């Protein structure tokens, strides 16, 4: 199975800061990567698919980039409602695999 290594495991930033989370795949996955936001007590939410395509309804401050093995989720201006854990998930093949998660705090 493809391993997804996500970093950092947690971060603390201020409102308005630019936040970057990275995900590295153990082998090339093209652009087949998604990012998810998970808040306690709620279902995970798809933010970005195919590396950089914003899911409908997701604020424009979220963006994704990368290809092959290295991917990035960027929050351009952190907002209080962005406090959550973020996961990458490779869509390249089965079994799909999540990164370990990044907890974002303010």
Partner 1 sequence: EVQLVQSGAEVKKPGESLRISCQGSGYTFTKYWIVWVRQKAGKGLEWMGVMYPGDSDIRITPSFQGQVTISADKSINTAYLQWSSLKASDTALYYCARRHEDGAGGLDVWGQGTTVIVSS
Query: Backbone phi, then psi, for 4, in 5-degree steps?
Result: -115, 120
Instruction: Using the minimum distance from each CB to partner 1, give the nearer residue, 19 or 37.
Output: 37
Judged by beta carbon, residue 10 or residue 77, the one nearer partner 1 is 10
CA 73 to chain centre: 5
Q: 19, 21, 25, 89: which one contacts partner 1 (CB under 8 A)? A: 89
Pick out residues in 38-77 that bind partner 1 (CB under 8 A): 38, 43-46, 48-50, 55
DSSP string covering 24-54, please? Answer: EESS--TT-EEEEEE-TTS--EEEEETTTEE
Site stretch for partner 1 (CB under 8 A), options 13-21, 30-38, 66-74, 76-84: 30-38
């Amino acid at each position: 199975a493809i391993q997804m290594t996500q970093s950092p495991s947690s971060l603390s930033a201020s409102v308005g800061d630019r936040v970057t989370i990275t995900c590295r795949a153990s082998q090339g996955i093209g652009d087949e990567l998604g990012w998810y936001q998970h808040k306690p007590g709620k279902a995970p939410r798809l933010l970005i698919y195919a590396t950089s395509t914003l899911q409908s309804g997701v604020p424009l401050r979220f963006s994704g980039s990368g290809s092959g093995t290295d991917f990035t989720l960027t929050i351009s201006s952190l907002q209080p409602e962005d406090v959550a854990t973020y996961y990458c998930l490779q869509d390249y093949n089965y079994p799909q695999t999540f990164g370990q998660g990044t907890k974002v705090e303010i």
